[in-house]
Structure 1
Amino acid sequence: MSRSTKVAVASGAIGLLALGGGLSIAAQASADPTASPSSSPSASPSTPGTGKDGHRGGPGRGVHQSDLAQKLAAKLSLDQAKVTEALKAVREANKPTARPSAGASPSARPDPATRDAALAKQLAEKLGVAEADVTKALAEIRAERQNQRAAALKSRLDEAVKAGTLTQAEADAVTKAVAKGVIGGR
Structure 2
Amino acid sequence: MTKYRTRAAALLAAGAVAGGATAATLSAHAADDTGSSSSSSAPAGDRGPGGPGHGRGPGEDAAALAKALGVSESKVSDAIDAAREATRPDDAEKPAAGEKPTPPTEAERTAREAAFAKALAKELGVDQAKVTKALETVRAARDAERRTDLSDRLDTAVKDGKA
TM-score (structure 1 length as normaliser): 0.56
Partner SS for 2:40: coil
* Matched residue, 1:82: 75
Greater RCO, CA 8 A, separation 6+: 2
Q: How far did residue 68 of structure 1 move?
A: 1.9
Taking the aligned partners of 1:71 and 1:155, their CA distance within structure 2 comes to: 23
* Matched residue, 1:69: 62
State the aligned residue count. Answer: 126
Given the alignment of the two structures, is residue 144 of structure 1 paired with residue 137 of structure 2, yes or no?
no
* Matched residue, 2:42: 43
**Structure 1 gap ranges (5+):** 1-25, 33-38, 56-60, 167-186
Does the 8 A contact of 1:63 with 1:145 survive in 2? no
Query: Percent identity over the alignment?
Result: 42
Q: How far did residue 103 of structure 1 move?
A: 3.7
* Matched residue, 1:121: 118
Given the alignment of the two structures, is residue 54 of structure 1 paired with residue 53 of structure 2, yes or no?
no
* Matched residue, 2:95: 100
Partner SS for 2:62: helix
**Structure 2 gap ranges (5+):** 1-12, 22-37
Does the 8 A contact of 1:73 with 1:83 survive in 2? yes
Structure of greater Rg: 1
Taking the aligned partners of 1:88 and 1:110, their CA distance within structure 2 comes to: 24
Q: 1:158 aligns with which of 155, 158, 161?
A: 155
Question: CA-atom RMSD, angstroms?
Answer: 3.2
Taking the aligned partners of 1:132 and 1:109, their CA distance within structure 2 comes to: 20
Cα gap change, 1:89/1:63 in structure 2, threshold over 3 Å: closer, same or farther? Answer: farther
| Deviations 1:63-86, CA, capped at 9 Å, x for gaps | 733222211111111122211111
TM-score (structure 2 length as normaliser): 0.63
Taking the aligned partners of 1:40 and 1:122, their CA distance within structure 2 comes to: 16
Q: How far did residue 161 of structure 1 move?
A: 1.1
* Matched residue, 2:130: 133
* Matched residue, 1:111: 108
Cα gap change, 1:43/1:153 in structure 2, threshold over 3 Å: closer, same or farther? Answer: closer
Taking the aligned partners of 2:55 and 2:112, their CA distance within structure 1 comes to: 15
